[in-house]
Chains A and B, each alone.
Chain A
């Protein structure tokens, strides 16, 4: 078990460019979550998948944001036409699903800076 991994760890881009982040969950986990964390705040939920199905999206996830999990394994989060307000840490988490409350395990995050 190598934990949740995220790539890249850091991304600097210019306003208006598109960026894509990748998350590889813990292998046996069928749930995958994306959160966004800005400086001095707690993480905010963006979206989550169970297997390949995207089951919920936050209103924070504008139409410039899209997330996929095509084969129920890794996931990508794309931001189109980036804005300076998109600068944040993007966190991925994974968990298994079952009859009890499962722990979400977080990756190290991708820090995005939009210039």
Chain B
């Protein structure tokens, strides 16, 4: 079945550091890929998405590129802020955008 694997956390960075959170997936067909973020005390929010190979999703300075050859969708940001501290979830859906399959989540802590 479909699955998502994320790097384990917590990831602790200083403000303005470069961020990479690794995500790889296993899926049949042509999944769509997502990054969701959960800030403390809040619900899941979509951060970015990509629906086909080589697409790049971007939002709020975060980027991720759908790499079919390596089955990866790594999340990057050039300069993190304290306000980026949250839990980040990588997820995939089938081609119809139905049920999402999530990774276990990666906690990001940014120190000032």
> What is A's interface to B at a CB cutoff of 8 Å?
4, 33, 35, 40-45, 48, 55-56, 58, 91, 93, 95, 97, 100-109
- What DSSP secondary structure best describes chain A's contact surface? loop
Residue of B nearest to A103 (CB): B46
A-B contact number at CB 8 A: 58
B contact residues, total (Cβ < 8 Å): 24
Q: When chains A and B are docked, how far (Å) is the Cα of A91 from the Cα of B38?
A: 13
Distance in angstroms between the alpha carbons of A104 and B46 in the assembled complex: 8
Contact stretch, chosen from B14-22, B61-69, B70-78, B99-107: B99-107
Q: A103-B49, A109-B43 are in contact. Are A42 and B89 (CB under 8 A)?
A: yes
Prevailing SS type, chain B contact patch? strand
Say if the beta carbon of B44 comes within 8 Å of chain A.
yes
Question: Is B101's CB under 8 angstroms from A45's CB?
Answer: yes
